[in-house]
Amino acid sequence: MATIVQVVYCYNDDPNTEEPLFGDNNEIRIPNEGDVIERKGKSWKVTKIDKILSVGVPKPPDVYRIFLAEAEH
C-alpha cells in the first residue's frame, strides 16, 4: 500500500531554494546520505536527511528534508 510523503529539497543550505514535492512512497525515491542525485540539470550530493514523522487523524504525510550540495566532478 502506498503512503503519501512530502520531500523538501534544500540546495546549498539556502532555505530560499526549498523545493517541496508530494507523492507516494512508490513514486518518490528517498535517497541516502552520500548519494549523488540529479536535480535541476545538475548533480547534487545528499549531505543530510531529516525525517519528520507526522501524527494525527487523518495522518498527514511524513516529511523528508533532503539537504543537497553541488557534487564535485
* Average pLDDT per consecutive 10 residues, the chain (73 residues; last block may be shorter): 88 95 89 96 97 87 95 79
Confidence (pLDDT) at 60: 87
**What's the 3-state SS for 3-67?**
CEEEEEEEECCCHHHCEEEEEECCCCCCCCCCCEEEECCEEEEEEEEEEECCCCCCCCCEEEEEE
Structural domain boundaries enclosing 64? 4-70
The tally of domains found in the chain comes to 1
Confidence (pLDDT) at 4: 87
> Global pTM?
0.87
